[in-house]
Structure 1
Amino acid sequence: QELVGQLREAARQHLAVGAPDAARRCLERALEEPPSPQVKATLLYELGCATLLSSPATTVQHLRAALDMPGLDEERRVDATYRLAAAHSHNNQLKEAALALAAEAARTAPGPGLMRLQAGAFLWEGMQAAEDDGPGRSARLARNADHLHGRDNAERALLTIRAFDAMMRGENAQLVVDLCERALVDGHPARGLGWTDAEWGFELPTLVGITYAFTDQLDRAEQLFGEAVRAFEISGWSGAHLAFAHTLLGLVHRRRGRLAEAEGFLREGLRLADRVGSGLPVHWDAACLLIDTLLARGRVKEAREIADRYAFGSPYPSAMVLPDGPCVRGRLLLAEG
């Protein structure tokens, strides 16, 4: 047990200096020791935190096992469930993400933990390509968020999700931008809601940037996504997160009409995503944007090569793809005659 403790402490130090792979190796070794039953759930939780950046499927396995055994206090249960949902989403399992959050919320007492779970459920329900009752969820979200001022991170999280939802529904652009402003502090993500902050995840500042991009606040979007790349590189996050950041910068350049710059960022996003796995949401987003950009440049053959390499077509993923995947595939087919 002394060795288990030493390995866990080493893992914490590795994570603190941006070395998640080294942390993972320490925790996997501690699991072989094995740890005492009282510590095993916490160790699995820590292992899930270390693998979130590099292996969503492995993270789901570790966090699900931790939640299924005794040993996690309430605060860690909430955090493990939130991270489990994020891992499900990165693995193209958005329905499972929303269901996990809803189930844990049903057993959680009122307080900050419950608000975090509820915000996460709104997030992953809204990111699905098809919902059972999308308008109903949007109405519930508006009732929960429109009166908020962004006084704490739970309020800012709900405002962020509401802004993205309003943008997707085509509501008034000035209302959408106002919601984004309330979700930020002096134009930047609040402490605890930043790109590498573990409590809320990188998805929330990502949604603010995407919302700015599609309401033509392109300077604001480019600033946010540039901060994301720097934050991920400094923290040693070289997996799906960094791939998304390059893809999102490609989105901004595409909407500006800077097609050559957009292509460069999108190809780099795909290269980074290929190191993590295949068929992930980041592959769909980057491939979709790259095909769209190549078509805009008149390079139909290269667009077809990307579509074939990444199986860009039906069946589409459970997560929404921006821009709309079937529409971009339709543009490709039209360009091919």
Structure 2
Amino acid sequence: MSSTPFSRPGAVDLSALQAPVGGASPGGHGSYVLEVDEANFQSLLEQSMSAPVLLVVFSATRMPESLALADELEALVNSYEGRYLLGRIDIDAQPGIAQAMQLQAIPLVAMVLQGRLQPLFQEIPPAEEIKALLDQLTQQLASQGMAGRHQPLSAVATAEDGAEAEVDPRYAPAEDALIAGDIDAAITEYEKLISANPADVEAVIGLGRAQLLKRTADVDLTMAREAAAAAPDDVDAQIMVADLDLLGGHVEDAFKRLVDVVRRTAGDDRDKARLHLIELFTVIGDDPRVLKARQNLASALY
């Protein structure tokens, strides 16, 4: 099983690191899975314009193990808390969709991004291989500025009923720089805002997120994880994987990694890990996961 690298420059949606306006927070337990039929298929594809949509095509009667694959993907996708939306297509119930997709075999797992379908695999790999693929896809997409997050399906209708949030024009230059892929310019713009008003919380959060993108640019996820595994007390290696975890949406994993480093180190190494963890708290902002990690950090320190 292999994935295809992405080479699309452009828009950065840092909403991936915050709760969507009017929706559930990333720490919630909403579902990101939809049983697809002809009535909702098009609207599902339209949601791929903001963040990737995964499709799993299965048949419980022709290949029961393909249903098990769909169930496994459902659990995995929900664990990414909005990084992906999963559409489950039962071809026994939806032959019209299968015909429209010109399906040759089942199962099929594909990704739809900005309306374009890309097959990922057609076998039934172990769950750990699927997770590794999704981790890699998440990293590749984020490194190209595609880090959007779906709202839980149960929250979509509520969000659509509310007024659309307006973007504060003060942050437009920084956001425009991110959209253009100029992270350094975005950092400069956020620093200007903070210099003018050190209490500007949104600018502080924006700066932290832009710096996170800069630190992780062009970093190979697999190599970084291997380096961290080989040297558990190498603080820099652990910090890099924590950054990548945060960028990939694995917030609790990032926090836990650095709390563990603080717990088993001392002196300058401990301070470095502690200060970086506090910086990551700033990136996430007001979130229950931050409160829990702060409590764990205090326990590790004292």
TM norm structure 1: 0.31
Higher strand share: 2
TM norm structure 2: 0.34
Higher helix share: 1
